[in-house]
Amino acid sequence: MTDFFKPIFSKKSKLNIDQLIIKKTVISFFFFFVFAGVAFWGWKRLRHQTISAQGTRPLLRNVLNANESIFSLLLSDKHLAKTYPASEAAANVRVNGYEGLKTKLDSSGWRLNVIRKNGDTLSLTMDDIKKLPKTDVIFNFKCIEGWNQITHWAGVKFTDFAKAYGLNDEIAMKYIGLVTPDRGYYVGIDMPSILHPQTILCYEMNGQPLPLNQGYPLRLIIPVKYGIKHLKRIGTMYFDNKRPPDYWYERGYDYFSGL
Ligand SMILES: Nc1nc2c(c(=O)[nH]1)N[C@H]1C(S)=C(S)[C@@H](COP(=O)(O)O)O[C@H]1N2
Ligand SMILES: [Mo]
């Protein structure tokens, strides 16, 4: 008996088929019980946690935050989202999400308000923004609901915009917040992502001014993030070292929402 079992867990011995089967079975059961134990522990923890101000149960939020610290390490200016020729861009672009677009837009009164670190506000018109160099971005737009579409956008690179308006102290902070004019939709974005070379303040789609439901006059296009972060109809931007409030984060989604 022992001559049969003993060698199974000693590294040196050669095993016959029956011994190998037993070894693999024992190892499989071991991992089965470990994973079942972790799952049971997680389930017990979750049952007693209530949905917090962070939009979900604390254990789930901790998992999302841990994912964020791993994925933010992968974000780099050298990692570009795949781009496509304009001929591959969809002509009929999907429209999704109307938060912050439900109030009538005051086109002539619209300004981009940039709240500076010292509290001053820059109040910019579309002409101010269109004067800056224009960049096209054609990429695969991805929504967490599960659809994606190759789409063609153009506007000013966020880094060109920040340079033109001398937002040096501002981009040294950790986050940027964007809000629609009526405050109905709002996002917070980590600074490395907004400074990524493919992030644009966008005013054109397929070579035309943005349609109203796609965020006219100005929206964010940020290919390193899921659709939820591409805020349409920007009214105000501000900078902070703490995470700015974020519409979908408050409803349980991942804050980082990176791709
Ligand atoms: N103002 C505003 N911007 C928004 C949303 C919204 O509800 N309101 N939805 C977001 C989501 S979930 C997605 S997928 C994209 C969709 O952009 P599209 O309508 O141009 O396809 O916009 C994002 N920006
Ligand atoms: Mo979305």
Ligand 1 pocket check for 183: Cβ under 6 Å: no
- In this prediction, residue 1 has a pLDDT band, given cuts at 50, 70 and 90, of low
Rounded to an integer, what distance in angstroms lies between the CA atom of residue 227 and that of residue 107? Answer: 24
Q: Work out the average pLDDT over 52-65.
A: 82
Assigned CATH for 58-251? 3.90.420.10
Mean pLDDT of 91-98: 97
Lowest mean pLDDT among 25-34, 62-71, 151-160: 62-71
The residue whose CA is least distant from atom 1 of ligand 1 is 232
CA torsion, points 67, 70, 72, 74, in degrees to nearest 10?
-130
User: Of ligand 1's atoms, which has the minimum distance to the CA of residue 144?
Assistant: 14
pLDDT exceeds cutoff 90 at 182: yes
pLDDT value of position 46: 83
Please indicate whether residue 97, judged by its CB atom, sits closer than 6 Å to ligand 1.
yes
Structure tokens at 24: 């693999």
Does the N-terminal peptide bond of residue 217 adopt cis geometry, omega within 30 degrees of 0? yes
* Rounded Cα gap, residues 194 and 216, in angstroms: 20
Once rounded to an integer, what is the mean pLDDT over residues 182-194? Answer: 97
Quick one: tokens of 6?
A: 């003993």
Nearest CA to ligand 1 atom 24: 231
User: Ligand 1 centroid vs 141 CA: distance in angstroms?
Assistant: 11
pTM here is 0.84
Largest CA distance in the chain: 90
| Residue ranges of domains in the chain | 6-47, 58-251
Nearest-atom index, ligand 1, CA of 149: 21
Residue 185 CB less than 6 A away from ligand 1: yes
Average pLDDT, the chain: 92
Residue 205 · residue 214 · CB < 8 Å: yes
Q: In the structure, what pLDDT confidence band is assigned to residue 16 with cuts at 50, 70 and 90? A: confident
Q: Which ligand is nearest to the CA of 99?
A: 1
The beta strands (E) that lie in the chain are given as 112-115, 121-124, 135-142, 148-157, 175-179, 186-190, 200-205, 208-209, 219-221, 236-240
- Tell how far the Cα of 226 is from the centroid of ligand 1, in angstroms: 10
How many whole angstroms separate alpha carbon 193 and alpha carbon 165? 19
Q: Which residue has the tokens 């780099």?
A: 76
- Are the C-beta atoms of residues 37 and 29 closer than 8 Å to each other? no
Average pLDDT over residues 219-237: 98
Residue with the larger pLDDT of the pair 4 and 160: 160
